[in-house]
Structure 1
Amino acid sequence: MYNFELTRPSTIADAVSALASDEAQALGGGQTLIPTLKQRLASPETLVSLSGIDEMKGICRDDAGRLCIGGATTHAEVAADGSYPALSAMASHIGDPAVRNRGTIGGSVANNDPAACYPSAVLGSGATVVTNTREIAADDYFQGMFTTALEEGEIVTEVKFPVPEKANYQKFVQPASRFALVGVFVAKFADGVRVAVTGASEDGVFRWTEAEEALSANFAASALDGLDVSADGMISDLHGTGAYRAHLVKVMTGRAVAAC
């Protein structure tokens, strides 16, 4: 590690002010950022901890019936809530107990790791990412590997999830890291089905639109028969080829539909 300043604001306004200084970076649960600092892949002069901001914690429902989760809410808290069963089940299998008790939904969504679980839940649910300045639809928020619509100094304060009629998340786990080698979140709403895939693409989380159309017409695993996912643009590494991941996308989607 190296020397840096740590500030602990108690309000969103104070956090935004602290992030306005040069070389300042937001710190959520630190489950991604701290290892990054240890490897000297990032070296901000100041870390602005968001863990002490009470207005960014907690889970509630809004007037539209959406499940609203504060950006500083931990994975363990989401797992224990149960208001959105598929989301809670997904959160209960992120990392290990230490990660779940420190990591936050806001940190995961802001980082947009290509193999993280939350981006698929946010995109698959058609959720809304709320920041200190605006609200961003999930379809506009994720813009590529580790890339989002967030601007400099912008903080994810809350995520609002419409709760579908049925939903399920299936993850093929990379056992060493417990990230998703491929993860698929399927959500069935009255007006159609959304399918979001994480862990597979070089561009990060994406929607499998062909599967959405097929499942919207017939919500059964058999609706996927005849569909194939292209291996072009899929991640290929020591854990699996692009073709292997493409195959897993279809397999995990079918399992998610069957589990619904």
Structure 2
Amino acid sequence: MIPPAFEYMRAGSVEEAVRALAGAGEDARVLAGGQSLLPLLRLRLAFPELVVDVGRIPELSGVREEGDTLVVGALTTHHDVVHDPLVRRHAGLLAAATATVADPAVRHRGTLGGSLAHADPAGDLPAVVLALDADLVAVGPRGQRSIPAREFFVDYLQSALEPDELLVEIRVPKADGWGFHYEKFHRTAQAWPIVGVAALVRRDDGHIAEARVGLANMGSTPLRATATEEALAGSGDAQSVARAAESAAIGTQPSQDLSGSPEYRAHLARVLTRRAVLAAAGMG
């Protein structure tokens, strides 16, 4: 389909982008890599009067360390996230999950910030940053603010970003010493997961001391499997992990669509959580 008509401007700085967004209000959309926005435009699911292109703002790309935190620029491409040595060393879950996003062409154009701002609960990366306890930093006319990942995803395709705010960076606590694994079930390699599970596990004396489990496509936002996380504490074998994984779908509201029923998705969440946790804990 042909997208609706809109005005286009290329921002040369964060300040210029914020001014443009503030001037247009809710009638503006941000273009980063374009892998999320362009399909919405073509399908006429978005009708912006202004598209603000931030794809050439240099300070929004790259990865750096700040003490115990990794700071990933919102324009850092999926490809660069996958291959960045800091991400691989200190946030391996993010690198591993990003490597499964779509295909190489999409990963070379798509950006971490664009994927998160799109707020698709079926996307891989929202569930991952939720499991990582990341903070997302936005800049607007009122200044800068940090939004915890657990508060950033509000509803289906809706984030906590105000219309005049721009996501500029993602701050990820280093997960040194944690095991990790991303498991998903999908129809084809390029498709969104029918269900995805991001698992982080910290072991102590042969037992799971702490676990975090993020779920993709199990509701209108990415979710944490909190009941399973609590049940995993103290687990030391595959049987106890399997019992804890049976709680993975508690508190979720999976959708009904052509890919599966809510009951099917709940079953997948339990199975994939068991696999992901066992792999992250080195028990698989």
- Bucket of the pairwise TM-score, normalised by the shorter protein: over 0.9
2:229 pairs with 1:212: yes
User: TM-score, structure 2 length as denominator?
Assistant: 0.85
Q: Name the structure 1 match of 2:157.
A: 146
| Contact 1:231–1:245 (8 Å) recurs in 2 | no
Q: Name the structure 2 match of 1:54.
A: 58
Offset from partner CA, 1:84-105 (integer Å, 9 cap, x none): 2221111111011111011111
Alignment of structure 1 residues 179-190 onto 2, 5 Å = 179-189=192-202
Would you say how many aligned residue pairs link Structure 1 and Structure 2?
Answer: 258
Alignment of structure 1 residues 68-217 onto 2, 5 Å = 68-81=71-84, 82-83=88-89, 84-132=91-139, 133-164=144-175, 165-175=178-188, 177-189=190-202, 192-201=210-219, 203-217=220-234
| Contact 2:218–2:252 (8 Å) recurs in 1 | no
| Contact 1:184–1:197 (8 Å) recurs in 2 | yes
Task: Give the 4+ runs in structure 1 shifted more than 6 A.
Answer: none
Letter in 1 for 2:214: A
Offset from partner CA, 1:172-221 (integer Å, 9 cap, x none): 123275211100111135872211100122x2211111110122222654
* Residues 234 and 48 of structure 1: CA distance in aligned 2, closer, same or farther (over 3 Å): same
User: TM-score, structure 1 length as denominator?
Assistant: 0.92
| Stretches of structure 1 lacking an aligned partner (at least 5 in a row) | none
How far, CA to CA, are the matches of 2:76 and 2:54 in structure 1?
Answer: 10
Offset from partner CA, 1:125-183 (integer Å, 9 cap, x none): 11111111200111222222222211121111111111322221111123275211100
| Contact 1:129–1:159 (8 Å) recurs in 2 | yes
* Residues 254 and 195 of structure 1: CA distance in aligned 2, closer, same or farther (over 3 Å): same
| Stretches of structure 2 lacking an aligned partner (at least 5 in a row) | 204-208
Q: Name the structure 1 match of 2:7.
A: 5
Residue 18 (structure 2) aligned to one of 10, 16, 26: 16
Q: Could you say what secondary structure the match of 2:170 adopts? A: strand
How far, CA to CA, are the matches of 1:246 and 1:189 in structure 2?
Answer: 25
Residue 265 (structure 2) aligned to one of 245, 250, 253: 245
